[in-house]
Amino acid sequence: MAGNRQNYQKKMEAVIAGEQARGRVTSLLLHSCCAPCSSYCLESLSEYFHITVFYYNPNIYPKEEYGKRVEEQQRLIAQLPVKYPVRFLAGDYEKERFYEAVRGLEGEREGGERCVRCFALRLREAAKTAAKLGMDYMTTTLSISPLKNAETLNEIGERAAQEYGVRYLNSDFKKKNGYKRSVELSAEYGLYRQDYCGCVFSMREREAAERAKTAEREAAEKKND
Q: What is the pTM assigned to this prediction?
A: 0.92
Average pLDDT over residues 214-223: 80
| CA gap 210, 171 in Å, rounded | 32
In degrees, rounded to 5, the angle at the alpha carbon of residue 165 between the alpha carbons of residues 115 and 130 is 65
Mean pLDDT score across all residues of the chain: 94
Q: Is the pLDDT of residue 132 over 90?
A: yes
Going 157 to 159 to 162 to 163, the CA torsion angle's sign is: negative
| CA gap 79, 99 in Å, rounded | 34
In degrees, rounded to 5, the angle at the alpha carbon of residue 128 between the alpha carbons of residues 125 and 133 is 125
CB contact at 8 A, 202 and 110: yes
CB contact at 8 A, 41 and 149: no
> Where do the domains of the chain lie?
8-224
Kindly report the CATH number that applies to the domain delimited by 8-224: 3.40.50.620
| pLDDT at residue number 30 | 98
The residue among 6, 2, 1, 80 whose CA lies nearest residue 36 is 80
Q: Which of 16-25, 125-134, 190-199 has the lowest mean pLDDT?
A: 190-199
Cα distance from N-terminal residue to C-terminal residue, the chain: 49
